[in-house]
């Protein structure tokens, strides 16, 4: 089956610092990856669509300068939360598209102090 990994699985950082989260498709190539955010007791909210070799497409209300997405290869997309604040604390989940399916990574729990 298709496997998607995320690293790190959890991270705690100080307010004002930047955090990078990696999303890898381990056994398939993904031209499209998606980044979601999930606050406690809420559903997944799509943040952006990451396309290999081109700029990411951000959803309305998501600051592209704060959430930097790079999809430099067919197996790796990164999300960098710049100048993180406590309100950015959330569960970040990536998914990779293969054919007509999306496969989810295990998620990254970000806590900003």
Q: Which residues bind another protein (CB under 8 A)?
A: 32, 34, 36, 42-46, 49, 91, 93, 95, 100-107, 109
C-beta closer to another protein: residue 84 or 107: 107
Helix ranges (DSSP H) in 40-100: none
Smallest separation (angstroms) from another protein to the CB of 95? 8
* Separation between Cα atoms, residue 87 and residue 105, nearest integer Å: 22
Residue 101 Cβ vs another protein, minimum distance, rounded to whole Å:
7
> Helix, strand, or coil here: 87?
helix
CB of 20 to another protein, least distance (A): 19
- As beta bridge partners, residue 108 has 92
User: What is the rounded distance in angstroms from the CA atom of residue 56 to the CA atom of residue 70?
Assistant: 8
- Structure tokens of 91? 């569960």
Nearer to another protein, 82 or 109 (CB): 109
């Amino acid at each position: 089956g298709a496997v998607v990994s995320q690293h790190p699985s959890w991270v705690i950082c100080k307010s004002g610092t930047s955090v990078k989260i990696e999303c890898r498709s381990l056994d398939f190539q993904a031209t499209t990856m998606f980044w979601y955010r999930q606050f406690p007791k809420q559903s997944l909210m799509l943040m952006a669509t990451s396309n290999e070799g081109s700029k990411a497409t951000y959803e309305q209300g998501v600051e592209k300068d704060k959430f930097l997405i790079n999809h430099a290869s067919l197996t790796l997309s990164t999300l960098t939360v710049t100048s993180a604040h406590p309100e950015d604390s959330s569960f970040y989940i990536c998914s990779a598209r293969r054919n007509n399916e999306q496969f989810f990574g295990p998620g990254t729990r970000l806590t900003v102090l």
